[in-house]
Amino acid sequence: MSRLLLLGGITESLALARQLPAHHIYSLAGIGRIPTDLTCQVRTGGFGGAEGLAAYLRTENIDLLIDATHPYAAQISQNAATAATLANTPCWALRRPGWQAQAADDWREFTDWTDLIKHLQPFKRPLFTLGREPLEHLDEIPEQQFWTLRAFDVYPGNARAEVIGARGPFRLEDERELLRSRAIDVLVSKNSGSSATEPKLQVARELGIPVLILARPELPPVARQFTALPALIESLREHGFLAGSQVQ
């Protein structure tokens, strides 16, 4: 029976994991919620780099490795490609396209935290939707700025920062309320390409607010790349990894 290892951590990987029979394995880094209602096996935590992952592929007799991790989780994607080569196991990747700026949008790309701080200088009330990284800089907020941060979990703010704990999907009207109530004058975001977090971009467009976008990391080439889940599921069916499942 052909067996696959699915590296996950995003909505689409969980949707695929829900369709996997019991002999397949779904792997998570272990920093978010761990689903307890899946038919397939679930494992959590790192493998110990590319070599550790290659050893796991051999030990568990994995026939196909699927990298369906977040587009900014570049380390595990690199490890997956390297491990696949080391273990002589094919690697497929689900890589959703980034969002595209529309005609009237004012998007400015930044490359790292230092670059972001330079871009932020003209603004007073940024909204960060970058995950946990801004939390490490709460004692470095310039005098003229008040930061609003949104992360997965609630975290204490300070006199010049509010931290909101919230997980998507986010509704357009709620994003409107958030940006208006905090008088946000610039949005800071990754370009995840996820529809669950896209409404904030619509609100920035409506309010004429610039968006500072973190450049996407380079990801390694793999045997096959898919931009959407249905095409990946179809190919898994064709190759006998999914029997009789329905695309959702």
Mind giving me the DSSP string for the chain?
---EEEE--SHHHHHHHTT--TTSEEEE-SSS---S--SSEEEES--SHHHHHHHHHHHTT-SEEEE---TT-HHHHHHHHHHHHHHT--EEEE-PPPP---TT--EEEE-SHHHHHHHHTT-SSEEEES-SGGGGGGGG--TT--EEEEESS----BTTEEEEE--S---HHHHHHHHHHTT--EEEEE----GGGTHHHHHHHHHT--EEEEPPPP----SEEESSHHHHHHHHHHTTSSSS----
* 48, 97, 169, 230: which one binds ligand NAP (CB under 6 A): 48
* 15, 29, 55, 101: which one binds ligand NAP (CB under 6 A): 29
* Pick 41 or 145: Cβ nearer ligand NAP: 41
* Pick 93 or 178: Cβ nearer ligand NAP: 93
* 16, 20, 28, 214: which one binds ligand NAP (CB under 6 A): 28
User: Does 226 sit near ligand NAP (CB under 6 A)?
Assistant: no
Task: From 24-32, 105-113, 167-175, 239-247, give the range in contact with ligand NAP by CB under 6 A.
Answer: 24-32
Of residues 2-21, those binding ligand NAP (CB under 6 A): 7-10
* Pick 19 or 69: Cβ nearer ligand NAP: 69
Of residues 107-136, those binding ligand NAP (CB under 6 A): 131
What is the nearest approach in angstroms of ligand NAP to the Cβ of residue 58?
15
User: Does 99 sit near ligand NAP (CB under 6 A)?
Assistant: no
How big is the site for ligand NAP, counted in residues (CB under 6 A)?
24
Residues that bind ligand NAP (CB under 6 A): 7-10, 27-29, 31, 46-49, 52-53, 69-70, 72-76, 79, 131, 190
